[in-house]
Structure 1
Amino acid sequence: MNFPEFKDCLLTLSEIIYFDSNEYLREKTSNPFRMKEIIDIAENLLANITNEDEKYFLMGTLGNLYRIYGELQKAVKILTECVTIASNQNNSNREIVALIRLGEAIKYKDNPMKALEIFNEVLEKCKANNNLLYLDFAIQHKGKCLLELGGIVEAEKCFKEALKLREFKGDVSLIESTRQALNFIKKRNAKYFTE
């Protein structure tokens, strides 16, 4: 499989990835075998690629896939490399994306406080560079982290802020993701008050 074919293959990932409502809406796979196949394809491509942009894309993708697959050490390692590459290139967009991905991997690795520090750093970078492209992602992931830390009120504020930004963007899948997080809080609160 070549790089363009691999990118097309990634479009099918939504069929095997879901948000687990039993684990704070963490991304999981319903088909670990297929996920491993995609990881192996990406690893093979990465070993043979020379184009720096394609290499960065593959590393970021692999970091996410390893996180979802549950290989958190590999996810953190490769995403840390992504942050370094983006930083060395002085590419603030890539650095922001890589930091968000790294924060998620660190959160999954049971270090939500460190992840929260990273998400706050990303928010500062977004605001300092007036970067609205990824601000909603930074706020959303900070909210999910706060949710896991028990900061329900703060998490809800983050989700409401992210929702406004996403409604402005008009991306239906992002809007749905944030609404799902708000509904998760609503259901959790309803359950808490009825017990």
Structure 2
Amino acid sequence: MRIVDFKKSISDLSKFIYFDNNDYLREKTSNPLKLKEVIAEAENLLKTNKEDKYFLYGTIGNLYRICGEPQRAINYLNYCLSYASEEGNIRNEIVTLIRLGEALKYDKKHKEALEFFDEALNKCKANKIDAYLDFALQHKGKSLMELGKFVEAEKCFIQAFQLREFKGDPTLIDSTKQALDLVKRLKNQ
């Protein structure tokens, strides 16, 4: 498979990935075999494709996280972070810090995850890159929510919601509304 065909094929994955309302809105899959097939294809592409290493490692890392293999995800995403740092690509560093934070959260390492989210937030602010602030806040909020820090989580979700309303992306807005609803329910229990 060519990389261009692979990139087209992964857009279909949204059919098999969902946010679990019973597990803090974590991303999960209804078809782990399909995700494993995609991971195997991406790993094969890594052997021959030199230009898209960052994309492939990031994709593989995310898919391993969703499949419930956070340690493997962390390994791939650590490579991504090193690669982005070596390239001096701040945007890719920020994205990878957020992804790594998520993988660490899935690996029950919430404290480390929060450090990565904070680092992503700091890099966004220091480099005036607003495009990822809402993602860093959303994921930080989810991690705080899992730790039972509902007031802090809600503050993150409110900030993320404001940024997402400004972006105008209905999918992102809905995702944050779900997180706000969940944290409010948990707070009132």
TM value normalised by structure 1: 0.94
In structure 1, runs of 5+ residues without a counterpart are: none
1:186 deviates by 2.9
- Give the corresponding residue for 2:110: 112
1:22 and 1:101 mapped to 2: Cα distance?
21
Question: Residue 64 of structure 1 is aligned with which of 62, 65, 71?
Answer: 62
How many residues are aligned here? 189
Q: 2:169 aligns with which of 158, 168, 171?
A: 171
1:17 Cα deviation after fit: 0.5
**Distance in 2 separating the partners of 1:141 and 1:78:** 19
Pairs within 5 Å for 1:47-126: 47-51=47-51, 54-126=52-124
Residue by residue, what CA displacement relative to the aligned partner does 1:3-51 show, whole Å, maximum 9, x if unpaired?
A: 1111111111111011112211111101111111111111111111121
1:21 aligns with 2:21: yes
Question: Does structure 1 retain, via aligned residues, the 8 Å contact 2:134–2:163?
Answer: yes
Structure 1 runs, 4 residues or longer, greater than 4 Å off:
none
Letter in 1 for 2:170: V
Distance 2:116 2:73 in 1: 15
Give the structure 2 partner of residue 132 of structure 1: 130
The equivalent of 1:37 in structure 2 is: 37
Give me the CA root mean square deviation.
1.0
Encode CA deviations 1:84-118: one digit per residue, 9 max, x unaligned: 11111111000000110011001111100110011
Identity %: 57
Identify the residue that residue 154 of structure 1 maps to in structure 2. 152
Superposed CA deviations along residues 127-152 of structure 1, whole A, max 9, x for unmatched, are 11111011111111110111011110
Separation in structure 1 between the aligned mates of residue 73 and residue 184 of structure 2, nearest angstrom: 31
Which amino acid is 1:105 matched to?
A
What is the letter of the counterpart of residue 11 of structure 2? Answer: L
TM-score, normalised relative to structure 2: 0.97
Deviation at 1:74, TM superposition (A): 1.1
Q: Which residue of 2 aligns with 1:180?
A: 178
Deviation at 1:187, TM superposition (A): 3.0
| Structure 2: tracts of 5 or more residues without a match | none
